Structure 1
């Protein structure tokens, strides 16, 4: 990985997000299109990988090993990065072998896969979990599930810079906060670190509260010696991770038709639904300007028939 360069990354455009219910409430929203930085190495997953890959390179690793599920956006981005930059990747997958489009892509990108079952995957947080894998793959650098932790958060800090450089083009002198979906809280933590309490960061939980997102965010801030705070969490899980229902899919379809921006139901769709609920409840005053983060993950749309052809 010695020749790995991070200069290729395309800029994430910041675009007006026009929806009738925002206009009616007098709320301005700009959407940071992380889905457009690259066709394959897409979304917040790349930002979460940047510092992990930098550490792997500095450690002299030849490649990377990480974890995820059969529809994992993280493994998809990692495998695509491995193919793009020419380093080996290994994926440890939850459950038993499945032939999803994501898994087919992982194999096509050259990622070596190991299926852990469900019990084996649950053991990923136990002491000693990585030891046998590091014996089997001594030249690979382990990256936590989803590219999480402080390193993942640090990579996400640059989103503030990218958005800030484009505010003038929208006619904005500043913004009033961020709105984004949360799976582990890593991206939110990165934005909280970058903002340093200048503006609030609003996170919508795509997982139930018992997944410990708030605790993970607090832990990352604590590693930096910062007190917990500067953000607010809303439940958007609809009862569980990957829980999707017809009203949500219909809402996503209507927003896509109105805005021309593709969404997906596990993260961005749920985050947008939660934003509408808060706007309808009068949570934000007219004139509020929010940056909505499109966290990518559009490859996962293939798991939802109504959206798969979008």
Structure 2
């Protein structure tokens, strides 16, 4: 029986960068990357309600999907090892070795490689039937922990924020800023805010990945109006696309601000914030909560490329 009681808290820290100070914009970073060395970032909050549902249904573990650098599968496998429940990962592509895949294996996750065509079939009706038959004791979790269940797990972030505002000298804030990969965490914050504060999502993937309809579907299922948020393209042409300008920005921001960023999500989101400030979309005096969604484990595969690009003049 799955009975896990763990409610990690993330600290709120000021982000001190020259371009923010010059613009008169204050940013507090909700450091989800610090909740745990392995079960890091927003992934735990999306997984937690799936674990609760699995326990309700009498399941003994979880099965889910992701790529060979998946932060979601990494957090799931780490949770399985930490709390002693079985995990199965259905991976995109052909067998390969990455830092993430090595960790998944070390954590005891059983892996199945679906190829690319097999992975694309994940949205088809009946996809889970064969896997339920093969692993009847495991509860299936959508890719990235998505859907309304995962979004509801992220509503706690607002509760986590409120008692920490005074540490920044804030009585209130003007909105949230975060990267969006599936839109699940963003949808959870929209649900939690219920219109009180806007949520800005910097798309880490191209619009063709369908984040906007996914967010609309989650809100519709929850019976909430499709409002209170906006999505802007921060993908820079593709998921995990890293160019020299982004690499230099990440490395410069880390040196100045002291907070590590990942190139796939948080780096792109912070660069998108600077661009929005530069074009006048964020007004002087704004106080924004930037959600550090983790993902630093995935940076290992891009570390040398990041440094090489960042060194270009």
Shift of 1:6: 2.6
Asked if 1:144 corresponds to 2:142, the answer is yes
Query: 1:38-78, CA deviations, whole angstroms, 9 ceiling, x for partnerless residues?
Result: 00000001111010111001111011000000000000000
Unpaired stretches in structure 1, ≥5 consecutive residues: none
Alignment of structure 1 residues 177-256 onto 2, 5 Å: 177-256=175-254
Asked if 1:172 corresponds to 2:148, the answer is no
Query: 1:198-240, CA deviations, whole angstroms, 9 ceiling, x for partnerless residues?
Result: 0000000000001111111111110111111100111000111
Shift of 1:121: 0.2
Aligned to 2:311: none
Shift of 1:282: 1.4
Q: Which of 113, 127, 131 is matched with 1:133 structurally?
A: 131
Cα-Cα RMSD: 1.1
Shift of 1:295: 0.2
Question: Could you tell me whether the CA contact under 8 Å between 1:102 and 1:299 is conserved in 2?
Answer: yes
Q: TM-score when scaled to structure 2? A: 0.96
Q: Distance in 1 between matches of 2:205 and 2:248?
A: 20
Aligned to 1:279: 277
Unpaired stretches in structure 2, ≥5 consecutive residues: 308-313
Q: Distance in 2 between matches of 1:186 and 1:10?
A: 19
Question: Could you tell me whether the CA contact under 8 Å between 1:301 and 1:307 is conserved in 2?
Answer: no
Extract structure 1 runs of 4+ deviating beyond 3 A: 306-309
Asked if 1:49 corresponds to 2:47, the answer is yes
Q: Which of 1, 21, 33 is matched with 1:23 structurally?
A: 21
Q: Distance in 2 between matches of 1:307 and 1:243?
A: 11
What secondary structure sits across from 1:169 in the alignment? helix
What secondary structure sits across from 1:256 in the alignment? helix
Asked if 1:85 corresponds to 2:83, the answer is yes
